Amino acid sequence: MNFKEEDMGFRLVQRAIVVFTVLFGFLITLAATPVWSADISELERRIDILSDELDQVKSSGGSSLAQRTTVHGYGETHWTASEGSDTKVDQHRFVVGVHSKITDWIHLNMEMDFEHAMSELEFEFGYLDFLISPSMNFRVGTMLMPMGNLNEFHEPNNFFTVERPDFHKNLMPSTWQQAGAGIYGSKGDYSYRAYLVNAVSALDSSRKFRNSDFIRKGRSQITGIAVNDMAVTARVERKTLGGQAGISFYRGGSAGDYIEEDGMLTILMADYKVKRGPFDLDFGVFKGWVADTKEMNAACSNFGEIACAGTIPQSAFALMGTFAVHLPELMQKKTIHDVIPYVQLQKLRPNDVNGDGAAYANGKNYNVVTIGAAYKPHPQVALKAGYRTNYYAGKKAAGARPGKQGTDQSYFEFGVGYQY
């Protein structure tokens, strides 16, 4: 090695030592600076805030209320043709519903019903669910009554007939809702709902019981109505024998402040629904009793016809059975399409025992035989057709115009129903 090479190596080492010394001093200076410490603290604070916000997002089930809210609904259009009457079409209902997860344990559910081509607007239900555990939850608001297996789940793809069966709509309110609070849950093969609600009314000026449709007109929209009576309603369901069996109960006063007596209304319903292979069976029984009918009917004469009908029955009774066959499944065809011929029998006694305690038929009690078919190109869409005949226990005079209650009548129905 010559002198020049030694001198160059020495200078390189010297420069490296100088650079290292400067950098080391700069780092020590930064570490000792309060501003750098403050920046670290601020960064830690912001990380904590972001962590808390992330936890809130996770607990709420989404990053925004819009992402945690879904819209759903259903609709029905019906055509009806009968002898001696014009064919009629009705955009019966179009329903818009909202489900929103306010948090992971507080959910909002509501539906609005635009009926008869939006000529009527009805509030179907709106309530909050507080999710505590699978076996015990709390519900408060305007709720569908757990009466029968259709009132709470009445979308058109859940039944085969064009219209909802009379069993579910002509003795009690269709889409029957009341305001109140209660509990619900499930465990194993069992599920239940139990509510305390405002009661239906037999004597109110806009709500009344009648011998033509029992308590159907006893409810009204929850629009500042007087709460003179309360009721308890409950339903228990069990999965058994390959299907589902259910028992429903309702009991509450109906006379309000019009008479001293309560006019206690009691309803019991039982049903069983099963699908075995390609065969469907749906069976139901209804029994209702009204106390103090003599006193209530006597009071009606003082109020006038506008207040109540004066024909409140003591009891009502009904039976329904539906048998259907899923043809593609019967023929072992794998397809999303479904063709379902059915036959339905109904026995309806809205005036099973009249207000004076006598059992009689006066043109209000009737039987229904319906034969038809439903075609489902998709599980959420149904095209339905049926031929229906009403047979009345007590008939009007010969020559009475068809289509009136008390006269046997037959008509053809066609409808389309959908759920989204």
Domain ranges for the chain: 3-45, 64-419
Tally of CA atoms within 13 A in the half-sphere of 88 that contains its CB: 12
Residues contacting residue 85 through CB under 8 Å, at least 6 positions apart: 402, 403, 411
Mean pLDDT in residue range 211-218: 90
Percent residues over pLDDT 70 in the chain: 80
The pLDDT-based confidence of 326 (bands split at 50, 70, 90) is very high
Please, is 87 exposed, middle or buried when counting C-beta atoms within 10 Å of its C-beta (0-12, 13-18, 19+)?
A: exposed
Mean pLDDT in residue range 351-365: 74
Identify the pLDDT of residue 250: 98
Helix (H, G, I), strand (E, B) or coil at 334: coil
Q: Locate 370 and state its tokens.
A: 């319906």
Identify the pLDDT of residue 278: 97
Task: Note whether 173 and 220 are within 8 A (CB).
Answer: no
Homologous superfamily assigned to 64-419: Porin (2.40.160.10)
- Residues 314-346: b if buried by 16+ CB within 10 A, e if exposed: bbbbbbbebebbbbbbeeeeeeeebbbebebeb
Identify any residues that bridge with 142 across adjacent strands, giving them in sequence order.
126, 179
Instruction: Give me the amino acid identity at 371.
Output: I
The pLDDT-based confidence of 223 (bands split at 50, 70, 90) is low
Which tops the pLDDT comparison, 15 or 105?
A: 105
Instruction: Give me the amino acid identity at 252.
Output: G
> Which candidate, 121, 92, 50, 159, places its Cα nearest to that of 386?
159
Mean pLDDT in residue range 287-298: 92
Q: Locate 50 and state its tokens.
A: 């972001």
CA–CA distance, 156 with 380 (Å, rounded to integer): 9
pTM for this structure? 0.81
CA–CA distance, 228 with 262 (Å, rounded to integer): 10
Q: Which residue's structure tokens are 């629009």?
A: 223
CA–CA distance, 285 with 167 (Å, rounded to integer): 9
Q: What is the pLDDT of residues 61-82, one digit of tens each?
A: 555 778 899 999 999 999 999 8
Identify the pLDDT of residue 222: 73
Q: Locate 27 and state its tokens.
A: 């780092």
Q: Which residue's structure tokens are 């059915």?
A: 342
Task: Note whether 371 and 160 are within 8 A (CB).
Answer: no
Task: Note whether 73 and 110 are within 8 A (CB).
Answer: no
Task: Note whether 177 and 125 are within 8 A (CB).
Answer: yes
Instruction: Give me the amino acid identity at 85.
Output: S
- Average predicted confidence (pLDDT) for the chain: 85
Identify the pLDDT of residue 30: 43
The pLDDT-based confidence of 346 (bands split at 50, 70, 90) is very high
The pLDDT-based confidence of 183 (bands split at 50, 70, 90) is very high
**Among the ranges given (6-10, 64-68, 277-281), the one the predictor scored with the smallest mean pLDDT:** 6-10
CA dihedral over 155, 157, 161, 163, signed as positive or negative: positive
Which tops the pLDDT comparison, 380 or 47?
A: 380
